[in-house]
Amino acid sequence: MEQHGGFSGVIAPVLTPFGEDGNPDAGRLVDHAHWLMEEGCTGLAPFGTTSEANSLGLDERMELLEELVDDGIEAEKLMPGTGTCSLADTIMLTRHAMDLGCGGVLMLPPFYYKGPSEEGLFRFFAEAIEGVGDDKLKVYLYHIPPVAQVGFPLPLIGRLIKAFPDTVVGLKDSSGDWGNTEAILEAFPNFEVFPGSEVFLLDGLRKGGAGCISATCNVSASAIRKVYDNWKGAEADKLQAGITALRKAIQAYPMIPALKAIIAHYRGDAGWAKVRAPFTELPAAEAEKAIRTLADAHGFRLDFDKAA
Amino acid sequence: MEQHGGFSGVIAPVLTPFGEDGNPDAGRLVDHAHWLMEEGCTGLAPFGTTSEANSLGLDERMELLEELVDDGIEAEKLMPGTGTCSLADTIMLTRHAMDLGCGGVLMLPPFYYKGPSEEGLFRFFAEAIEGVGDDKLKVYLYHIPPVAQVGFPLPLIGRLIKAFPDTVVGLKDSSGDWGNTEAILEAFPNFEVFPGSEVFLLDGLRKGGAGCISATCNVSASAIRKVYDNWKGAEADKLQAGITALRKAIQAYPMIPALKAIIAHYRGDAGWAKVRAPFTELPAAEAEKAIRTLADAHGFRLDFDKAA
């Protein structure tokens, strides 16, 4: 498995905290990013779906990325989301990430117009890559049809790899469909494929996958990392069963509000629970139930003291 | 029918032309906008779906709007699209439109996250309106579920009107579902409702509708205007049948590439046909077929000489 994009392992699509005024809270974000790396993340993918990235303004996204780098998160370990509906804005965000030295970018397809042709999507990425015009650019395609509706069919992935072999180096597959992940892994052996859920981490690694980029890495990176580190060991299936069960328990709740409520609880920082519209916070009773269920059934808790 | 938003009649969601370099072409845009007003449009809604607005960068949108106003398009007749997935960018685009004196704005709901709650969507619009903080702001809700997926159910419309009676003044209904348009017209009598297709123009006017905002106004505004001006006359149904038949003939083709190909043909300006990815241009044979069919079956042609 030759890997040429530089990312592997356990990557968290970092949650974006907000302040009382509704603006993104860079201080809380940076603290969370450092904690995630200490918990065992091998990289961070800020400004993904879990980050409420599409609810942020372009300026907000760029300022927060600068804060992360300025505060000592290694830029090479950052794979920020930079794909938007617009070619111009996608190029702008990607250039900005490259100027900061980010190791790669995660690109959504343009998702407003539904049912675009393969040729239209190919042109979008070709023009974006040529528009950025940087040989060091590493693009990870972000396949998340349940949300974006527009996705990456295999022939499109193949065309992009063929046209830009040193740039289009991987994909996050948030289809939730293992059959699709498996088909991509089989079709493109040197491609860095990250399932969008740790449920498929072990299956993915056994087929040549690169790791996972998963929302729940925001609260369970250390357990997920254990599977990644021990995937060839005797305990692998047992460890995988544990993170699968925890993931399924968490995703019984609205994912983003639930993750924020969990962090708010264990940090003792109620403000962490704030989300931006169109999301709404998890009602207090729901949040308490989630936290209690996870603790009782899965022994789940978060320890922020060691990071303080 | 008390109208308090100031828009009525035939409004074109203005196509956005591009230059050879792929950048928006302000010169072609301004010429087209003036021609549309001469053809009988009562207002213009640049940066809608037909305008490929979501394929434009935020800066590109703002610069083009400034060009329209600077070149003499009356700002009060402009209802630019300013709704994005992001609260911050929606506020920025809307403030910019208000600063230029635009008569209103057309707001998409945040369309990335699917299945948002009514409360979440209400908060988005409430925070956007409060964030703009301008008593003169007139918001037209942009309901286009076939593309945005996220739409405006009746209870949400009712809540927004109640909370912001002087600001949330109308809606463009591009559902393509006359039953939905009719239900909105019946539920909210003082609301300015524009069907998103001239197919429903006469039915809408007879129920208290305000006019239409339709992609095909880019090429058939004068015929649509005739229906609007004569809707109480004896010829109304016959005139309506003519614009309905033309619309149906045009929408047999991919709408945006077809409209651009038609204009390119009659202007004798091949560059007008250019679209931005993820769209692709209509193949030449398809374009010729469309133009010939429209001319033969509907006597359709465009006259740009009178505007020169």
What tens digit of pLDDT does each residue of A215-257 get? 999 999 999 999 999 999 999 999 999 999 999 999 999 999 9
> Residue A306: what pLDDT?
61
> Residue B306: what pLDDT?
61
- What backbone phi and psi angles, to 5 degrees, belong to A78? -100, 130
Flag whether pLDDT at B159 surpasses 70. yes
Residues 6+ apart with CB under 8 A from A148: A108, A109, A111, A142, B112
Lowest mean pLDDT among A133-142, B9-18, B222-231, B295-304: B295-304
Quickly list H helices, chain B: 26-39, 58-70, 87-99, 118-132, 145-148, 154-163, 178-187, 201-206, 217-229, 236-250, 255-267, 284-298
- What backbone phi and psi angles, to 5 degrees, belong to A111? -115, 5
Give the angle A172-A161-A189 at the CA atoms, nearest 5°.
Answer: 70
Give the angle A114-A115-A121 at the CA atoms, nearest 5°.
Answer: 100
Please answer yes or no on whether A120 and B59 come within 8 Å at the CB atom: no
The CA distance from B123 to the nearest CA of chain A, in Å, is 6
- CB-based burial of residue B211 (10 Å sphere; 0-12 exposed, 13-18 middle, 19+ buried)? buried
- What's the pLDDT tens digit per position in B72-101? 999 999 999 999 999 999 999 999 999 999
% of chain B surpassing 90 pLDDT: 96
The CA distance from B299 to the nearest CA of chain A, in Å, is 31
Nearest chain B residue to A113 by CA: give it.
Answer: B147
- CB-based burial of residue A283 (10 Å sphere; 0-12 exposed, 13-18 middle, 19+ buried)? exposed
Please answer yes or no on whether B148 and A88 come within 8 Å at the CB atom: no
> Residue B1: what pLDDT?
39
Angle B58-70/B87-99 helices, nearest 10 degrees?
10
**pTM score, whole prediction:** 0.96
Place of tokens 């505060």: A71
Flag whether pLDDT at A34 surpasses 50. yes
Q: Are B96 and B63 in contact (CB under 8 A)?
A: no
Flag whether pLDDT at B5 surpasses 90. no
Q: Over range A195-199, report the average pLDDT.
A: 98
Domains and CATH numbers, chain A: 9-231 (3.20.20.70), 252-298 (no CATH)
The distance in angstroms from the start CA to the end CA of chain A is 38
Q: Over range A259-264, report the average pLDDT.
A: 98
Q: Are A171 and A194 in contact (CB under 8 A)?
A: yes
Question: Residue A88: which of B57, B87, B123 has the nearest Cβ?
Answer: B57
Binned at pLDDT 50, 70 and 90, residue A305 comes out as confident
User: How far is the C-alpha of B263 from the C-alpha of A139, rounded, in Å?
Assistant: 37
- The CA R_g of chain B, rounded to the nearest whole Å, is 18
Mean pLDDT estimate for chain B: 96
Please answer yes or no on whether A57 and B88 come within 8 Å at the CB atom: yes
Best of A112, A124, A142 to disrupt the B interface (most B CBs within 10 Å) is: A112
